[in-house]
Chains A and B, each alone.
Chain A
Amino acid sequence: DAGVTQSPTHLIKTRGQQVTLRCSPKSGHDTVSWYQQALGQGPQFIFQYYEEEERQRGNFPDRFSGHQFPNYSSELNVNALLLGDSALYLCASSLNLVYEQYFGPGTRLTVT
């Protein structure tokens, strides 16, 4: 049983560009959450998707947007990249009414 997978593993982008990160949830999970983790800090919640809708959102600007597909996979899009967007982006999946979240290995984004 595959766990949460994320792609790509690493990514280098230039300021002002746009990026799309992808996440496939653990088999049987229907809820996907995205987090941003700066070096040396705990993960910061970006947003959560369930039934293809954004259900909760953290304190992130509208440059951060997402999507969930009918197969429960999800994308995180970041527009107009800033240097401060450099971080590890984590995807976590969970099953409705079950609280434990399963995290993927993350995508390391570097903005130059």
Chain B
Amino acid sequence: DAKTTQPNSMESNEEEPVHLPCNHSTISGTDYIHWYRQLPSQGPEYVIHGLTSNVNNRMASLAIAEDRKSSTLILHRATLRDAAVYYCILRDRRTSYDKVIFGPGTSLSVIP
């Protein structure tokens, strides 16, 4: 399974943008990049995913490097409710029934 590396923790001020990095140097051509987040005392929730092009949705943006060896999850204006653990995950698109491998993730703190 291809692995990802993320910083253990990050801090952001409320209402400022947050850039959460993820390195995946061994990514294969068939791997999608997924992001999930887990708020305190809750199960993980899907945030966004992409393959090659940058992606935007109502929650966040995903910027993918041209060589696909790294990506960045962008929260445009951090709120206190964004304080969570963020997981960057690779998923092989060749199969629908693959296992999702979570690393330790990045714990994001948002300062009021």
Binding site for B on A (CB under 8 A): 4, 31, 33, 35, 41-45, 48, 50, 55-58, 90, 92, 96-97, 99-106
Q: How far is the CA of A57 from the CA of B101 in the complex (A)?
A: 11
| Residues of B contacting A44 in the complex (Cβ-Cβ under 8 angstroms) | 102
Q: What would 24 A/B residue contacts be, using CB atoms closer than 8 Å?
A: A4-B43, A31-B96, A33-B99, A42-B85, A42-B102, A43-B100, A43-B102, A48-B97, A48-B99, A50-B97, A57-B99, A90-B44, A92-B43, A92-B100, A96-B96, A97-B96, A99-B96, A100-B34, A101-B44, A101-B46, A102-B46, A103-B45, A104-B43, A106-B43
Assess the A56–B96 pair: CB atoms within 8 A. no
Residues of A within 8 A of B44 (CB): 43, 90, 92, 101, 103
> Which of B34, B43, B49, B99 sits near A90, CB closer than 8 Å?
B43
B42 touches A105 (CB 8 A): yes
Q: Which A residues are in CB contact (< 8 Å) with B45?
A: 102-103
Task: Give the residue name and chain of the A residue nearest to B97 (CB).
Answer: A55
Taking beta carbons and an 8 Å cutoff, which residues of B are in contact with A?
A: 32, 34, 36, 42-46, 49, 85, 87, 91, 93, 96-105
Q: A4 vs B96: C-alpha distance in the bound complex, in angstroms?
A: 19
Residue of B36, B100, B102 with highest tally of chain A CB at under 10 A: B100
Shortest B10–chain A CB gap in Å is 16
Contact B99 A45 (CB under 8 A): yes
**Complex A-B, nearest 10 residue pairs according to Cβ-Cβ distance, in ascending order:** A103-B43, A42-B102, A100-B46, A45-B99, A55-B97, A56-B99, A43-B102, A103-B44, A97-B96, A90-B43
